[in-house]
Structures are given as C-alpha cells and as structure tokens.
A and B are shown apart, each in its own frame.
Chain A
Amino acid sequence: MDTFLEQLPIVIHSLNTGFLQTMKLFFVTLLGAVPLGLLISFGTLSEFAPVRVFLNLLIWVVRGTPLMIQLLIIYYFPGLVLKNPVWGGGEAGRFAASAVAFVINYACYFSEIFRGGIISIPLGQDEAGMVLGMTKTQIFFRIKLLQMIKRILPPMSNEILTLVKDTSLARIIALQEVIWAGQAFMKGSQGISGAIWPLFFTAVYYLACNGLLTLLFNRAERKLEYFR
C-alpha cells in the first residue's frame, strides 16, 4: 500500500468510523449537559444554602481540575478503589465513562453561562409576569427562557465549538475517536504503516463540523434578532 490513492479509501473509512464516535460523544454530552447545567444553575440561584454551597463546590472542583484527570478518575476509580470495574474494558464501557465525565464537566461550564443569562434579565420581567398571575414556571418558560437564550447564544457557541474539539481528550481512556483513528496509521494499521497524513487530515473533520455549527449558530442569532 504505498500510493496515496490506494491508502485514501481505507484511511477515510477508518476516520469516518472514528468521527462517528466523536459525534456520538458530542451529541450525548450536549443532550445531557444542557438540562443538567440548567438544573445546576437553578441550584446555584436557590435560596437553600446547602444546595448552593454544594453546587458551588462541585463547580469549583470540576472547573478547577483538568478534564483529562476527570476522565481517568471516572473510568479507573471504580475498578482501582472500589474493586468493581463497573464500566468494563469494552468500547461501550469506555464510551459510557467518557460520556459521564463530559456531561458533568460541560454541565458545570454551561451552568455558569445559564446563571449569567438568568440574572441578566431585568427583575421587571418577573414582576410583570407575577402581576398577571403567572406561575414561576410559566414566567421562566414563557418569558425569560427565550430572552436568556438570545443572551447566552454567543458564549454557548464558543463552549460548544470547544466541546467538539475536547472530545479528543477521551482517547486517554482509549475511546477510539477520530484522532485515535488517524494516529493508528502512524504506527501501522490495516496494512498502512508510518502514514502521517491521516492524523493531520482529522483536522478537516473538526473544521467541517465546526463550520457547520458556526453557520447554525449564526442562523439562530439572526432568528432571534426580531426582538431586543
């Protein structure tokens, strides 16, 4: 397999498989971290001090330690310390552990963005809702949520683009995402060995994905331009 054209279909197939894993982790994280982050942000705004203190401690620990260490702890801790390797050695277990680590980590970052969004909305919106007899839930979902989304869109798009790239950290616990797939050809895989270009080629996947996301975010921002 020495010519580039012979290598190309094999490499692309392998990178596609890896990128599927990258995307899976990305979407699962997003689906889990957005609602969890919203709950955490409510908690940090709660009037009940123990909840507030606990969540602020959690946010401090999660934001204050590297995601890579969190991945290692979540994947290896059950087996090493509890003597119960709940995740198992297979791919599904590694994915599940990665997803848990990413959801917790990103929920903490999201929660701070959400909190900022919530407190930036003038109190008058709450009061206007209250005097019209609305419940707190109705006020949040019918009045504040959309205004909050409009305000947090720019920082969220930042965080989400970072998430796409951060998924590559999961290779520390051998989740076979796209960079792992690209790197495999450097050492030798499927009859192609010592090929450097697949690793660099993975950048194209990230770029394409983030390009698409940027377009989506721009579109969302334009859609919300109808009000101020």
Chain B
Amino acid sequence: MIKKMISMALMATLCLSMTACGSGSGSTSKDSGKSVQSDADSGQSGDNGNAQDGSSAESDKAAVVDKGTLVVGITDFEPMDYKDENGNWIGFDADMATAFAESLGIKAEFVEIEWDNKALELSSGNIDCVWNGMTLTDEVKGSMNCSNPYCNNAQIVIVPAEKASEYQTVDSLNGLNFAVEVGSAGETQAKEHGLTYTAVSNQAGALMEVAAGTSDAAIIDSLMAAAMVGEGTSYDQLTYTVGLNSEEYGVGFRKGSDLKDALDEFFKASYADGTMQKIADTYGVQAALIAQ
C-alpha cells in the first residue's frame, strides 16, 4: 500500500511538470460517472444510471452500462482469448465475456493490453475488467475486485525433452536456473520452492530462454503449456514435467466495483443451465472448469 502511494505521488509530480503541454484536457470532471455518460447519448441508462456522486462501488456497473460497452482487457492467449480467421476474438474467456456483456444489455469490446500494466489499465479506467486466464494470486486479489474462481490451473516445469527423465520430482529441480514471467504465478512458485530464477517479460520469453539454452528450465501455466509446448509447435524439443501447485483463474474488476457481484450471479446461472460447460467443451477446458 505504501509502495503504491509513493509511486502515485512520484507519478503525480512528474505529471505536473508535463501537463503544461501534455494531455490537453487539464482539469476536467473529477467524477468517472460524468465523463462516460457524456459519450453515451441516451437509452440504456440502468436503474441508477445517474449515480454521479456515489462511490465507484455504486456507479461502476451503471457507468459501464451507460456507455454501452464492457471494455475487456486481454492478451492473445489460446485457448482463453484469441482471434479466429476473421479477426474476431474467441476463446473460453472471450465467449463468456461476450455472453456476460449481453446479459447486461451491452456489447463487449476486446482490447489487447500489456499484461504487466493490467492493474494500471483497470484503475485508470481505460478498461473495465481483466478477463484473460488470470491466476488469482494475493497480488491480483489485492489490486482488483476479483470474481469467484472459474477454472483450475497449475504452474508446471518445462525442460528440454531429452532431459525430462531427470526432473520428474520437485526435489530434483534444485540447482537448475529457471526462467519465469515477471510478476506471474510462476515467479511466486519459484520463490516458494527456493529455486534460482531469472524474471523475463512474459511466459513465451521464458520458453525461449529454455529453447535457447540460456536457462535450464521454465515455469508456466499448464493451460498455456498445453497449447505451446511439444509436437507441432516451435518448442517441440521441450516438454513439461512436475506440477508445482494448483491454482485458480478469475476475472478482475476495479476495486469496489459492483460488476463482480453481477458476474458471480451470471456464472451461477450459466453453470446451472449448462451454457458454461458447453463453451468450456468447445475450447477443451472442460476438465479444468470449477463448479459455480
């Protein structure tokens, strides 16, 4: 918390020295509700569409409904969010997000973000949620208002295939140099198991480290490993061995947002009527699905 405040203060100071020629709109509305409202002309204002002076917890859902689109922050991450041949976003997460937006009577707009900046994107209001196979770590839960978990995942170890037989247990991993994605659940696991590691910018980068021989092994998501490692990929010389933990995916909203409750309700309903399972089936993640 203190760290966050310090960085905010630093940012504000820097900004002050730049505003003179910076963003153009010096001092505008202090209220997020107001500004979004001006974009959406009419119609679709929900029951508390004019909640301008309430806290963000009261206004977030109404504000999003008012502007008519749910802006979903994603990365290109098969099988959760990826593009079909026509350039439309599909995947288990993308389809669920589209369905959720429909249930609110609005449209989902998918925006690719830099994963490191997901909390920044959310709190600055550039996106409304992070819905991209996001592991519910303490850090994530601390910076966002997270939905109930909907998918199981694990952090698993990736090594070159020819050495796989040597590293089938957790104890055998000591002494290896790992590559992990910075700030990822994989990094948390490496820390917890006391492993030596280098943090790289993303999971794909961690794999490249192993393929290039600059690291001995990597730790990445099991759902991702299924899509990226082994036969038919550029990493066919790599394979996965031990699982280090089990963890869960969830959707992140702004702190205090009432969209979280709306999504939990929506998950329950669509699990109850079987739509959630059907979509999971389509993308091969049915085994990982968590009952709502």
Contacts and interface: CB of A to CB of B under 8 A. Distances in A.
Interface string A75-106: 11111111111111111010000001000100
A85 B205 contact: no
A2 interface: yes
- The A interface is mostly helix, strand or loop, or mixed, namely helix
A79 to B, nearest CB: 3
B20 A196 contact: no
A73 B204 contact: no
A24 interface: no
B203 interface: yes
Given A75-B126, A189-B76, A194 B21 contact: no
B137 interface: no
Nearest to A85: B125
Interface string B31-54: 110010000000000000000000
B112 to A, nearest CB: 6
B247 interface: no
A86 B23 contact: yes
B83 to A, nearest CB: 6
A78 B117 contact: no
B27 interface: yes
B207 interface: yes
Contacts of B233: 2, 193-195
A90 B127 CA distance: 9
A173 interface: yes
A70 B224 CA distance: 33
Contacts of A78: 23, 25, 28, 124
A194 B235 contact: yes
Contact of B121 (A54, A89, A104): A89
B27 to A, nearest CB: 7
Contacts of A57: 17
B126 A93 contact: yes
Contacts, number: 163
Interface stretch (B7-15, B170-178, B257-265, B273-281): B7-15
Contacts of B234: 193-197
Contacts of A184: 76
A12 to B, nearest CB: 16
A96 B3 CA distance: 30
Contacts of A54: 20
Interface string A184-204: 101111100111110000000
Contacts of B8: 80-81
A144 interface: no
B126 A79 contact: yes
B12 to A, nearest CB: 6
A119 B23 CA distance: 32
A34 to B, nearest CB: 16
A79 B125 CA distance: 6
Interface of A: 1-2, 54, 57-58, 61-62, 65, 69-70, 72-91, 93, 100, 104, 171-174, 176, 183-184, 186-190, 193-197
Given A193-B233, A195-B234, 8 more contacts: A58-B20, A76-B124, A79-B123, A79-B124, A84-B25, A84-B35, A89-B126, A104-B22
